[in-house]
């Protein structure tokens, strides 16, 4: 990855079917973890998909997927099975906060 190209990583979550009631016991811890990562500058933005509420995306900044992977492994949604599947995908951004338009 060249120095002229900003890198973001998408942490993509799939939720279990009945995720809303099952998240209740760990939601505050999950949101606190997100806030801490945001305060450290690791997360740019995060949220859940609208109806149907079957997943979410957290956008991480960085030169490697390490912060996103560590977040998922520590997240109570993952640890308690609210998240049925997660993956981290590199996202080459060309415009927006932290992005750089590639040279043409």
Assigned domain for 21 exists: yes
Assigned domain for 58 exists: yes
Predicted TM-score (pTM) of this structure: 0.88
Query: Residue 85 belongs to what H/E stretch?
Result: strand 83-92
**Each residue's pLDDT tens digit, 32-79:** 999 999 999 999 999 999 887 889 999 999 989 999 999 999 999 999
Measured distance between the N- and C-terminal CA atoms of the chain, rounded to whole angstroms: 16
Number of domain units in the chain: 1
Assigned domain for 54 exists: yes
Per-residue pLDDT for 1 more than 50? no
Assigned domain for 24 exists: yes
User: Over pLDDT 70: what percentage of the chain?
Assistant: 89
Assigned domain for 76 exists: yes
**Each residue's pLDDT tens digit, 43-53:** 999 999 988 78
For residue 44, give its domain range. Answer: 7-91
Report yes or no: 47 and 56 within 8 Å, Cβ to Cβ: yes
Assigned domain for 103 exists: no
Residue 22 sits in a domain whose CATH number is 3.30.70.1060
């Amino acid at each position: 990855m060249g120095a002229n190209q900003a890198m973001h990583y998408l942490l993509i979550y799939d939720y279990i079917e009945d995720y809303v009631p099952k998240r209740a016991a760990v939601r505050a811890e999950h949101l606190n973890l997100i806030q801490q990562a945001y305060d450290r500058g690791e997360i740019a933005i995060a949220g859940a998909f609208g109806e149907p509420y079957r997943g979410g995306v957290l956008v991480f900044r960085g030169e490697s997927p390490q912060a996103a992977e560590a977040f998922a492994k520590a997240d109570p949604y993952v640890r308690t099975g609210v998240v049925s599947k997660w993956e981290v995908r590199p996202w080459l951004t060309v415009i927006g906060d932290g992005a750089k338009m590639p040279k043409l």
